[in-house]
Amino acid sequence: MGCLFRLSGLFFLAIIIGLPIAIAMNAVQDVPALKRPGAINLQDLKNAQQLAKRFDPRLMSPDKITEIRATTRELNTVLKGAMASIPNVVTTVKVARFGILIGMSVELPDNPLGRYLNIRTVIASSSRGLRFYRLYVGKVEIPQQLIDPALRYALDEIVGKGKADPILKSVRSVKVLGPTIYVRFQPPPNLLKDIKTAARKRIQISSPKTVKPYYDLIEKLAAQYSSLSRVSLTDFIRPLFKLAGQRSSSGDPIDENRAAILALVLYFGDSRFERFIGEVRTAQQKSKRGKISHVRLNDRHDFVQHFAISAGLTLTGGEDTANIIGVLKEVKDAANKKSGFSFTDIGADRMGVRFAKKATENRSKALEFQRVLSAASSERSFFPTFTDLPQGMTTAQFKSRYRDTKSKKYRDEIAKIDRRIDAIGMYR
């Protein structure tokens, strides 16, 4: 009898230990359920902008219900752009028989169970709020009574404790007609602020503590060069990457290079990138910035801005997004008859993209950047000449010469820019 009790105890112990393992083994899989979409293009970005403009969350009042209307193609375009900087996650939205099918494939770190976490959920059409019809994690279907508590827990963890309930209740109805999804939505107060706060915590690409020494160094150099009529960005790059090399002796060279680039972005590009870092600058530094109009690349200050902002976009949004935003700006410049469409500017943009990408690609490349740039005597060490490229074209002139951004003639100009960048060894 005692033996029987011992065997029974072992059996139940095996169930307690083995059941979660069995579920985990079926939840994690060897292949992704979704393929990564192609690179984001100019039309993708325009579609996403149009959708964001149509339903700007800043204009949605918590005192009334707003109907959000979008096709699955529009939603997938937005997701494509939003996820471009997260290479291990793929998402998609489809119309399913009972409502909206949302899929996600997440590539996991090395583990004995499998490489991918595949999640599928169906949001049912409903006139009574948000209703989840099915939820699968790999091969495992989550019981319906557990879906809502799990979702509330996840939202509370992501957005903030106590935020899940008002967010879920804000969805009043979901309807699907053909490829179009209609959601009636009454946002809770402070929703946008809560989401921004949560995003800053989870999309932080560096820390104020890491970036600040580089920002302070730039500020010191700017004061030193303020009396000059012109100064090359090289005179900032060289000491910055020398400092990065010194700090890498006890730190990660990739992190140090990223911090150095972000300091350049904040000072010479756009201070709004600080949202992805945290408070780097003191109140005094925010209110007073030194002279920067005399800082040049190819003897042009606007190249410094193009270079810095594109580098920042690469670190925060990915290579494809950064390149497309650069092209979109030139298209707008041509239409507004300001500076016109300029391949010179695109050259500076693509240079910023490649600089940020390669300087943070891996440990070996990060150290190579530090070694080369800390001894740079001229711009030629990291920045080729672009001033001879076509520039200042109106929309009509651009169409006459290149037709559009898909033409062979346009692609040839981009290839010419990339060849000049490739000619600098550390970018290959």
pLDDT tens digits, one per residue of 261-310: 999 999 999 998 998 898 999 999 988 877 899 999 999 999 999 999 99
Same domain, 120 and 198: yes
Same domain, 279 and 193: no
The mean pLDDT value for 116-139 works out to 87
**Residue 19 domain-assigned?**
no
Same domain, 118 and 137: yes
**Residue 8 domain-assigned?**
no
- Tell me the residue range of the domain where 48 lies: 28-202
**Residue 2 domain-assigned?**
no
**Residue 122 domain-assigned?**
yes
Same domain, 198 and 220: no
Same domain, 197 and 214: no
User: Which residues, other chains included, contact 161 with Cβ-Cβ below 8 Å and sequence gap of 6+?
Assistant: none
Q: Is the pLDDT of residue 5 over 50?
A: no
Q: How many domains is the chain partitioned into structurally?
A: 2
Question: pLDDT class for 2, splitting at 50, 70, 90?
Answer: very low
pLDDT of residue 19: 43
Whole-number average pLDDT of the chain? 85
**Residue 241 domain-assigned?**
yes
Same domain, 298 and 155: no
**Hey, CA dihedral for 180, 183, 189, 194, is it positive or negative?**
negative
Same domain, 214 and 198: no
Q: What are the strands of the beta sheet with 180-185, ordered from one edge? A: 66-71, 180-185, 171-177
**Residue 77 domain-assigned?**
yes
User: Which residues, other chains included, contact 343 with Cβ-Cβ below 8 Å and sequence gap of 6+?
Assistant: 386, 389, 390, 391, 413, 417
**Hey, CA dihedral for 193, 198, 204, 208, is it positive or negative?**
positive
Q: How far apart are CA 421 and CA 424, in angstroms?
A: 6
The H helix count followed by the E strand count for the chain is 16, 11
Of 168, 202, 236, which residue is a domain's last? 202
Same domain, 196 and 253: no
Question: pLDDT class for 11, splitting at 50, 70, 90?
Answer: very low
Same domain, 222 and 132: no
Structural contact between residues 207 and 277, judged by C-beta atoms closer than 8 angstroms: yes
Strands 231-232 and 295-296: parallel
| Pair of tokens at residue 384 | 């080729």
Question: pLDDT class for 1, splitting at 50, 70, 90?
Answer: very low
Residue with more model confidence, 221 or 329:
221
pTM for the predicted model, two decimal places: 0.72
The mean pLDDT value for 117-137 works out to 88
pLDDT of residue 16: 41
**Residue 234 domain-assigned?**
yes
Question: pLDDT class for 86, splitting at 50, 70, 90?
Answer: low
Of 171, 202, 233, which residue is a domain's last? 202
| Pair of tokens at residue 222 | 């700017």
The mean pLDDT value for 332-359 works out to 91
Same domain, 280 and 370: yes
Same domain, 191 and 255: no
Q: Angle at Cα 35 formed by Cα 30 and Cα 41, nearest 5°?
A: 155
Same domain, 95 and 233: no
**Residue 14 domain-assigned?**
no
Q: How far apart are CA 211 and CA 354, in angstroms?
A: 20
Of 172, 202, 232, which residue is a domain's last? 202
